[in-house]
Amino acid sequence: MTLLAVDNLTVTLNTVRGPARAVRNLSFELEKGQTLGIVGESGCGKSLTALAIMGLLPENGWADGTVKLAGENLLTYSEDQMCQVRGNRIGMVFQEPMTSLNPLHTVGRQIAEAMRLHRGVNKAEARTEVLRLLDMVGIPEPTKRINSYPHQLSGGQRQRVMIAMALSCGPELLIADEPTTALDVTIQKQILDLIRNLIEDLGMAMILISHNLGVIYQNVQDVIVMYGGARVESGPTHDVFANLSHPYSQGLFEAVPQIDDTKASRRRLRTIPGTVPELADLPAGCTFQDRCDYVTDACRPTQPPVVQIAAGHNVACLHVDAARKQWAAR
């Protein structure tokens, strides 16, 4: 059953240099219980996509297209209605828990408040439930920690509290935007393992946003690679990584050193020439054209066609055949 259907989502921002399209014609579907990753470098539109789905775009931005949750278009909802959706049906976890937690209140009180707001439970019930949640997200000694203030917790523990809050109302979808980017690698693994296990146990769907290809590879069933606000490649995670086909995805992969590389195998990293274009200057046509080895005049006037190269594996590139051939021969 389709839980979330995003169709032709475009996010436009009013900037000093005029309106800029930060997300362009993005479409994807998410089944109940499915996990999807969105990966790309900073500024490619990952967070704005998440914010558009949650109705939290900045003042200077708006969304066009449709975002349907179980068939209902969220983009037509009032702020009151969206307030009910957030927390109740879509939970969120962000990169920096410190900015989303209130430093003046105990973590117990903050989780309880979210619950009482959305679920109308009484105080005693809320306390029992908070203890259960803290235990579920792996906080040791919940009866003690329920009275802690955010600054008394480590970064990893704060992120666990954020996850407890996001899950407190039993949402159908969790959106996690760079949830481990600020954390050490061992803590990152603990948090991602926790999220993955909870998602599976609770039968939730998830959108995991990350700039880290390894994080995406290890944690989601499907992946979307974004560049310049557009989807350039998408499909089942393992198929996509086994057959990277868009020149940008290929370049991104080759730019990252891997711990199983050997010095002999890789003395130089591949770089992607040039820099990410300014939002207001994004070209018509393919957003990657100015940095692409395969570019021709045909890439410039119109958006590239989406080519299906295998079941569910789509690539938005006019020259996908050439890029694939080159990749296979490398």
Partner 1 sequence: MTDSDPQAGAGGADSTTVAVAKPAPVIDPSTVVAVHDVHKHYTLPRETLWRDPTLVHAVNGVTFTIEKGGSFGVVGESGCGKSTLARCVMGLETLTQGSVEFRGQNIHALPVEELRQLRRHFQMVFQDPFGSLDPRMKVARIVAEPIEALEDTKLDERRARVIEVLRAVGLKESDTDKYPHEFSGGQRQRIAIARALITRPALIVADEPVSALDVSVQAQVLNLLQDLQDEFGVTYLLISHDLAVVKFVCDEVAVMNEGVFVERGPTEEIFANPQHDYTKTLLAAVPQIGG
Ligand X SMILES: Nc1ncnc2c1ncn2[C@@H]1O[C@H](COP(=O)(O)OP(=O)(O)O)[C@@H](O)[C@H]1O
Which residues, 227 to 286, sit near partner 1 by CB under 8 A? 241, 251-253, 255-263, 266-272, 275-276
Give me the 280-319 binding string for partner 1, x by CB under 8 A, dash otherwise.
----------------------------------------
Which residues, 2 to 21, sit near ligand X by CB under 6 A? 13, 15
Q: How far is the CB of 169 from ligand X (least distance, A)?
A: 25
What is the greatest pairwise CA distance in the chain?
Answer: 67
Query: Tokens at residue 121, please?
Result: 């439970």
- Of the two residues 108 and 251, which places its CB atom closer to partner 1 in the complex? 251
Full 3-state SS string of 175-210: EEECCCCCCCHHHHHHHHHHHHHHHHHHCCEEEEEE
Q: Hey, is 319 helix, strand or coil?
A: coil
Backbone φ/ψ region at 327: left (φ over 0), alpha (ψ -120 to 50), beta? alpha
Tell me the C-alpha distance between 274 and 292, whole Å.
9
Told to check if 47 binds Mg ion by CB under 5 A, we report: yes
Q: How far is the CB of 43 from Mg ion (least distance, A)?
A: 8
60 touches which of partner 1, ligand X, Mg ion, none (CB within 5 to 8 A by kind)? ligand X
Tell me the C-alpha distance between 3 and 205, whole Å.
8
275 touches which of Mg ion, partner 1, ligand X, none (CB within 5 to 8 A by kind)? partner 1
Q: Contact 33/203 with Cβ under 8 angstroms?
A: yes
* Options 41-49, 196-204, 292-300, 319-327: segment touching Mg ion (CB under 5 A): 41-49
15 touches which of Mg ion, partner 1, ligand X, none (CB within 5 to 8 A by kind)? ligand X
Tell me which residues touch Mg ion (CB under 5 A).
Answer: 47
